Amino acid sequence: MRLNRLSLAAAVTIIALGNMVPLHAQDALPAPDPAIASMSPDELVTTRENKMKENGGILRSAAGLTGAAAEEAATTLLQNYVDFIPLFDQRSQSALTNSALPIAWEDWAGFSALFEQSQQAALAMKTAAGAGDQAGYVKAVETLGGLCGQCHGKYRL
């Protein structure tokens, strides 16, 4: 009988741990857009260039945003930065129009690390916006802008 109680206690513990919600579940990164997997090389380039332009437009005015507008901007940026890594699939090097330098793929670890840092900055932006922390939000916007500059300075034509 003792073994059964012990087994029951272990099972309850496992179920409870499995159902625990992470403390920062709201801070989890979104999944990449599933449509990216089936894009042609030219579609990959067009989509990432459109997202880059969208990010540039958002970042130009982001520091002045507050409330829901700030959170919406951060949410869009976060999704775009999550999408960038799969949008730079090796196949996209063969696209007719491609502003990325070959070093982006040659130095994949450094290149993708900038996107991962950008994801974290966008996540910090979103978290600060949701908390009404304007100073934290602006700091994250500035960090993100600096990361954009680093990436474009090294990996873009």
Question: For residue range 92-145, what is the model confidence (pLDDT) as tens digits?
Answer: 988 878 889 999 999 999 999 999 999 999 999 999 999 999 999 999 999 999
- Whether residue 116 lies inside any domain: the answer is yes
Phi (first) and psi of residue 149, to 5 degrees: -60, -40
- The CATH number linked to 147 is 1.20.120.10
Based on the structure, what is the number of domains in the chain?
1
- Whether residue 18 lies inside any domain: the answer is no
State the pLDDT at residue 9.
45
Evaluate whether 114 touches 81 at the Cβ level (below 8 Å): no
Query: What would the pLDDT profile of 25-71 be if each residue is shown by its tens digit?
Result: 446 899 999 999 999 999 999 999 999 999 999 999 999 999 999 99
State the pLDDT at residue 2.
53
- Whether residue 14 lies inside any domain: the answer is no
Residue 57: which domain range?
Answer: 29-155
Please give the Cα distance from 62 to 125 (Å, whole number).
Answer: 10
State the pLDDT at residue 20.
36
- Whether residue 114 lies inside any domain: the answer is yes
State the pLDDT at residue 21.
36
Residue 89 has pLDDT above 50, yes or no: yes
* Residue closest to 104 by CA, chosen among 93, 117, 91: 93
- Whether residue 95 lies inside any domain: the answer is yes
State the pLDDT at residue 16.
41
pTM over 0.85: no
CB neighbour burial string for 128-156, b if at least 16 within 10 angstroms, e if fewer? bbbeeeeeebbbbbebbbebbeebeeebe
State the pLDDT at residue 95.
82
- Whether residue 12 lies inside any domain: the answer is no
Q: Which residues contact 24 (CB under 8 A, 6 or more apart)?
A: none
Residue with tokens 């990959």: 44
- Whether residue 4 lies inside any domain: the answer is no
CB neighbour burial string for 93-103, b if at least 16 within 10 angstroms, e if fewer? eebeebebeee
Amino acid at 35: A
Per-residue CA distances from 18 to 4, 13, 14, 39 (Å) = 21, 8, 6, 36
